[in-house]
Chains A and B, each alone.
Chain A
Amino acid sequence: MTSHLTRPVAIIGAGSSGLAAARAFLRYGFSLRVFEREDDIGGNWNFGKPHARVYDTTHTISSKPFTQYPDFPMPDDFPPYPHHTQILAYLRRYCEHFGLSEYIRFRTEVVACEPADGGGWHLTIRDRDEDTTRTELFRAVIVANGHNWSPKIPDVPGSLDGEVIHSADYRDASIFEGKRVLIVGAGNTGCDLVVEAARHADAAFHSTRRGYWYAPKFVLGKPGDQIYDLLLSLRLPAPIVQTCLETAVRLTVGHPTKAGLPEPDHRFLETHPVTNDLLIYYASHGRIQPCCNIARFDGDRVVFDDGSSQEVDLVVFCTGYLIDIPFLDERYFRIRQARPETYLNVFSPHSDDLFFIGFIQPDSGQFKLVHWQSVAAARYLRAQLTAPARADTFRRRIQDEVGRRADGGIEYARSSRHFLEVQHMDYLRKLDEAIADLKVY
C-alpha cells in the first residue's frame, strides 16, 4: 500500500501545461516524473523543434496579464504581447525558479498508457536515444501533450502543380518570395500568415469559409483583451458583451466589409476570436484578396465555390490542429456533441487518476487557466488520499457535470475548431468552485 502512495505521478509533456502540472503536483506533495519526447522544454514555444508550431514572427495573441502564470508574472520589460523567444525564456525561468528540471526526462516518449489493476497506470516509455521501451507503473497520469501540433488537412479534390503545405511546416516568410500565395483559414495563424504573404509574396489570397470579426490588439490604448475582461467581469449578458465588442471593432479597425472582406455570418465570440489589426489594414490597401471556400485544385489554378479561380504557386493550409492523444484509449477523452466528455476538460468520468491539462481553447491566454486546472487536479488526487469523503463528493460532481461547457452563454459555431472552446471567465469561475470544494491542507 505505501509503495502505491509514494509511487510518482507521470506527466506527459514539458510544454507550458506539463510544467504547470509539475509545479502543482509538487506543491501538493507528490513525487513525479515528466516525460518529454524532445530534448528541451517549451513544446509549442520552442521555435524550430519538430512539433513547435510558432513561426519566426509569432507574438502572443493574448496580452501578459492573462498569458502568465498567476504566481510568476512575466518581467515588466516584456512588451504587452511578447515574442515567442520571450515566452520560451519565461518558461525556462519558471522551470528554474521552481526547480522543475530535475524531474524531467528528455527524449523519452510515452507510447502507451493503460490503467493498472488496483489503481494507477502502466506507461510504456520509449527511450529515443537507445531506441528501447520499458513499462512502468505510476500513481496517476497527467496528459499534457498539447493539442496544437497534429495538423488538420482538408481533402481537396484535383491536384495542384504548385506546392501545398500546412502551417505546421511554416517557419518564415522566405517561402513566399516571388510566389502567388493562397492562405486557407482565418484562425490566428491564418491571419498572421496572410499578412506575411501580403508583405512578401507577389500576390496574397485568403480563402475563408465564412466572414469573420477581426479584433484589434489595442482598444482605448489598452490591450484589447483587458477591455474584454472588463466587460466580462461586469457580468453583462452575452448579447450585450457581443454588441460592445462589435461596436469596439467598428470604432477601431472598422467592420470587415469596409475593407472588402466578407460579412461575418455570426456574432462576435461565436467563433474563436481572431486578433489582428494588420489583416484589415492590408486588405483595405488591396494587398489581400479575399476568396471563398476552395472547391478544387486544377493544374496551376485553384477553383473556389463561387466558380471563380486564381493562379496560385503555393497553398498554405492554416486549418488548425487535431486533438491527438495517440497513446491513450480514445474513450477517456471522447468528443460528443462537439465537446469533450469530461468535467471542465480536466477530469475524466472513467478514471480517478487521469487528468488532462491544457486541453482548452480559451478566448484568452492559456497559462493562467492551466495553472488552476493543475491545482484542481492535484487537489483531487490529494483528497483521495487525505479526505476520501470530499473526494467522493467531487467524484459525483464529475459525473453530474460531464460535458457541460463553460461558454459564458455563447453558442459556439459547430466545428472541430471549437471542440475545446471555453469562455475564460466563466471557465475560471467554474474551476474556482471545484478548487474550493477540494480544500485539502
Chain B
Amino acid sequence: MPLFSDDRDEAVMRPLDWIFPSEAVDREVLHVAPEEPAADRPPLLFVHGASMGAWCWKTHWMPAAADLGWNCYALSLRGHGNSGGQKRRHRWLFRDYVHDVLQTIAELPSPPILVGHSMGAAVVERVVERYHAPCAVLMAPPGDRIGLVTAGQLLRHHPTDFFGGLIGRSVPPRHKYLFAPHVDRRATRSARTRTRPLSALNQYELLLPDRTRNALCPLIVVGMEHDTLIPFSALDRYARRRGTRPIFIPRAGHTPHLEPDHWKDALQITLSAVEATLQKLP
C-alpha cells in the first residue's frame, strides 16, 4: 500500500477538529529580529523536536540566521519549554501541536517558512497539508515508516530503551541519540538540563506509520550523516516518496543545531537550500 499517493488531496472534512477542538494553552514564542531585514523574505518559524523547546533554536541558529537577515520565530509546543500544558504533558497528541503551530502562524504578519526538527518535522508535515506555507524544512523527519526504523535502531543499541518505550516509558535523551559520536558530551549534559521526558502517546504516534497527505508547498528534507535514530538511507527513501531528494549534512548527528562544531555548517546548508527553493517559486 503506498503511503503517499497523489490522490491524497487537501482534507475538507476534519470533523475531529470541529467536534473536539484543541484546548487553549499559553504559548512560548521566541523572536529574534534581524537588524537589517532582507526585503521580501518570509519569516522563519522553528518547531523543535520531542522533549526540546524553543530554546534549542535560540542557542545558535536564531541569532545567526537573524544576522543574515532572516526574521526568526520559534515556539515551544504545549508541554514543552516554557509553554503551558506541562501538567497534562502526557495527554497531548500531534493534533494539539498542530494547533499550536497554526495559532503561532496566525499571529505572524505573513506566511512563514516552517522548519521542523524530528518530532517537530512530523508536526510541520501535518501543518503544511492544510496551510500553504512558502516552503517547509523537515530535519530528520520521523514520518512515513521511519518510526519503525527508529524503533529498530533503539532495539539494536539499547534494547532496554526499546522495551521501555513499548510499555510507555520515556526514551531517555542519550548522547548517542542526540548527537554525533565525536561531539563533546558536554553538549548532552547541557541539553539535558532543559529537556522534558517524552510522552508515551507521542512515542506511539512516532512509531506508527502515518498516512500524511500531500504537502501544499515544496518540502526540503534534511538528513544528518551520524543520525542514529534516523539513518540516512531511510530518510533518502522517505524523501523520494515525497518527490524530493534529501539534503545531506556531513559529520553531524540527530540534533545538528545544538552541536558546537556543526551548527554553523548545518545552518548554512539549510538556508541555502531554502533560498534556492524560494527562487524557484512562481
Does residue A428 face the partner (Cβ distance < 8 Å to B)?
A: yes
Given A70-B130, A71-B131, A76-B103, CB of A97 within 8 Å of CB of B108: yes
Total residue contacts A-B, CB cutoff 8 A: 70
- For B27, what are the chain A residues with a Cβ–Cβ distance below 8 Å? 76
A98 to nearest B CB, angstroms?
Answer: 7
- For A96, what are the chain B residues with a Cβ–Cβ distance below 8 Å? 109-110
Does residue B237 face the partner (Cβ distance < 8 Å to A)?
A: no
**Segment touching B, from A320-328, A414-422, A429-437:** A429-437
Complex: A172 Cα to B257 Cα, angstroms? 57
A197 to nearest B CB, angstroms?
Answer: 34
A102 to nearest B CB, angstroms?
Answer: 12
- For A372, what are the chain B residues with a Cβ–Cβ distance below 8 Å? 12
Contacting pair A226 B18 (CB below 8 A): yes
Complex: A439 Cα to B5 Cα, angstroms? 13
Does residue A73 face the partner (Cβ distance < 8 Å to B)?
A: yes
Residue count of chain B within 8 Å CB distance of chain A? 29
Instruction: Kindly identify which residue among B12, B20, B106, B110 contacts A435, using a CB–CB cutoff of 8 Å.
Output: B12
| Binding site secondary structure of chain B | loop
- For A428, what are the chain B residues with a Cβ–Cβ distance below 8 Å? 12-13
- For A66, what are the chain B residues with a Cβ–Cβ distance below 8 Å? 18
Does residue B9 face the partner (Cβ distance < 8 Å to A)?
A: yes
Interface residues on A, range: 20 to 34
Pick from B25, B106, B107 the residue with the most CB of A within 10 Å: B106
- For B6, what are the chain A residues with a Cβ–Cβ distance below 8 Å? 439
Instruction: Kindly identify which residue among B9, B12, B103, B108 contacts A73, using a CB–CB cutoff of 8 Å.
Output: B103
Given A233-B19, A435-B12, CB of A71 within 8 Å of CB of B132: yes
Contacting pair B106 A233 (CB below 8 A): no
Complex: A109 Cα to B130 Cα, angstroms? 34
Given A75-B107, A428-B13, A429-B13, CB of A27 within 8 Å of CB of B132: yes
Does residue B282 face the partner (Cβ distance < 8 Å to A)?
A: yes
Does residue B111 face the partner (Cβ distance < 8 Å to A)?
A: yes
Residues in B205-255 with C-beta less than 8 Å from chain A: none
Instruction: Kindly identify which residue among B13, B19, B108 contacts A226, using a CB–CB cutoff of 8 Å.
Output: B19
- For B20, what are the chain A residues with a Cβ–Cβ distance below 8 Å? 226
- For B24, what are the chain A residues with a Cβ–Cβ distance below 8 Å? 76-77
- For A435, what are the chain B residues with a Cβ–Cβ distance below 8 Å? 9-10, 12
- For B10, what are the chain A residues with a Cβ–Cβ distance below 8 Å? 375, 435
A433 to nearest B CB, angstroms?
Answer: 9
Does residue B261 face the partner (Cβ distance < 8 Å to A)?
A: no
| Binding site secondary structure of chain A | helix
Given A97-B108, A436-B9, CB of A229 within 8 Å of CB of B102: no
B18 to nearest A CB, angstroms?
Answer: 5
Residue of A nearest to B112 (CB): A97
Residues in B11-36 with C-beta less than 8 Å from chain A: 12-15, 17-21, 24-25, 27
A387 to nearest B CB, angstroms?
Answer: 14
A65-97 interface mask toward B, CB cutoff 8 Å, 1 = contact, 0 = none? 110001111111100000000000000010011
Complex: A431 Cα to B6 Cα, angstroms? 19
Complex: A96 Cα to B109 Cα, angstroms? 7
Contacting pair B130 A65 (CB below 8 A): no
Contacting pair A432 B107 (CB below 8 A): no
Complex: A230 Cα to B103 Cα, angstroms? 24
Instruction: Kindly identify which residue among A29, A73, A97, A439 contacts B99, using a CB–CB cutoff of 8 Å.
Output: A73
Pick from A73, A372, A425, A429 the residue with the most CB of B within 10 Å: A73
- List the 7 closest A-B pairs by CB distance, nearest first: A76-B24, A233-B15, A432-B12, A65-B18, A65-B21, A230-B19, A71-B131
| CB pairs A–B below 8 angstroms (26 shown) | A65-B21, A70-B14, A70-B130, A71-B102, A72-B106, A73-B99, A73-B102, A73-B106, A75-B106, A75-B107, A76-B24, A76-B27, A76-B103, A93-B106, A97-B108, A97-B111, A226-B21, A227-B19, A229-B15, A428-B12, A431-B12, A432-B13, A435-B12, A436-B9, A439-B7, A439-B9
Q: A27-B132, A64-B21, A428-B13 are in contact. List 6 more A-B contacts (CB 8 A).
A: A65-B17, A75-B106, A76-B27, A96-B109, A229-B15, A435-B12
